[in-house]
Copies of this chain bind each other. A is one copy, B any other.
Amino acid sequence: MDQRISLITLGVSDVTRSAAFYEALGWARVDTTDGVVAFDLIGQTLGLYPRAELARDMGLKESDLGAGGSTLGYNVRDKDDVAQILAKAKAAGARILKEAEDVFWGGHHGYFSDPDGHIWEVAHNPFSPLREDGAFRWNGYG
């Protein structure tokens, strides 16, 4: 099994509302069919799909979704970008879980949750600068 994730699918209660949220952050969707809203990322696609249909597709009840906690990380090139991204997310309707602050490992970060509670970490990691194309690789913390 190669080390890749091809799709990240977020189960959402209102696809139109969620799509507007991510578009307000500056993302452009690609044309799709079947009620999915998709955004192409560096090495995979982020999809938004109705929670009820996502559960049906997996053979689960909607109440079964979300057993495990998870976050989506967005790393930035400059420390000041963290607060700016959080402000932009808040303006787009996000709930701020943690305002931008220094972290014990030497970085700077904050958290927001999208309209359905999907949690994003916005982080500046001075020990793992982003590559030219925006890709992130783990170099260890400090």
Contact = CB atoms under 8 A, between A and B. Distances in A.
B111 A5 contact: no
Interface string A26-56: 1110111110001111111111000100110
A11 to B, nearest CB: 3
A137 to B, nearest CB: 5
B70 A10 contact: yes
Interface residues of A: mostly helix, strand, loop or mixed?
A: loop
**Interface hub of A6, A47, A98 (most chain B Cβ within 10 A):** A6
Interface of A: 1-12, 25-28, 30-34, 38-47, 51, 54-55, 58-60, 62, 65-75, 85, 88, 97-98, 105, 111, 113-114, 116-119, 121, 123, 130, 133-138, 140-142
